[in-house]
């Protein structure tokens, strides 16, 4: 059994599992496009733009 990564519809975090570890949402989607890896939220323009507050992998767009 392989866990397919899904994207949180609430905060766009890439999640492996049933709930998002950032916002706790279980509203996840297998349909997403783009992938950004945020390593340093404090100094990342992309993180600011996407409203990301925790480092990790995020989808750019979630359907
Ligand atoms: Zn989330």
Give me the phi and psi of 38, to 5 degrees please: -100, 120
pLDDT at 2: 64
Domain ranges of the chain: 6-62
Q: How far is CA 12 from the centre of its chain?
A: 4
pLDDT of residue 1: 56
Q: pLDDT category, 3, cuts 50, 70, 90?
A: confident
- Burial of 11: CB neighbours in 10 Å, binned 0-12, 13-18, 19+: buried
Ligand-binding annotation for 9, yes or no, is: no
Could you tell me if 13 and 20 are in contact, meaning their C-beta atoms sit under 8 angstroms apart?
Answer: yes
Class of the CATH-defined domain 6-62: mainly beta
Query: Is 14 annotated among the ligand-binding residues?
Result: no
47 labeled part of a ligand binding site? no
Query: How far away, in angstroms, is 59 Cα from ligand 1 center?
Result: 11
């Amino acid at each position: 059994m392989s866990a397919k990564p899904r994207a949180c519809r609430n905060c766009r975090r890439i999640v492996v599992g049933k709930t998002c570890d950032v916002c706790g949402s279980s509203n996840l989607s297998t349909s997403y496009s783009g992938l950004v890896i945020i390593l340093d939220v404090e100094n990342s323009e992309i993180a600011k733009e996407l409203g990301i507050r925790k480092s990790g992998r995020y989808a750019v767009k979630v359907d």
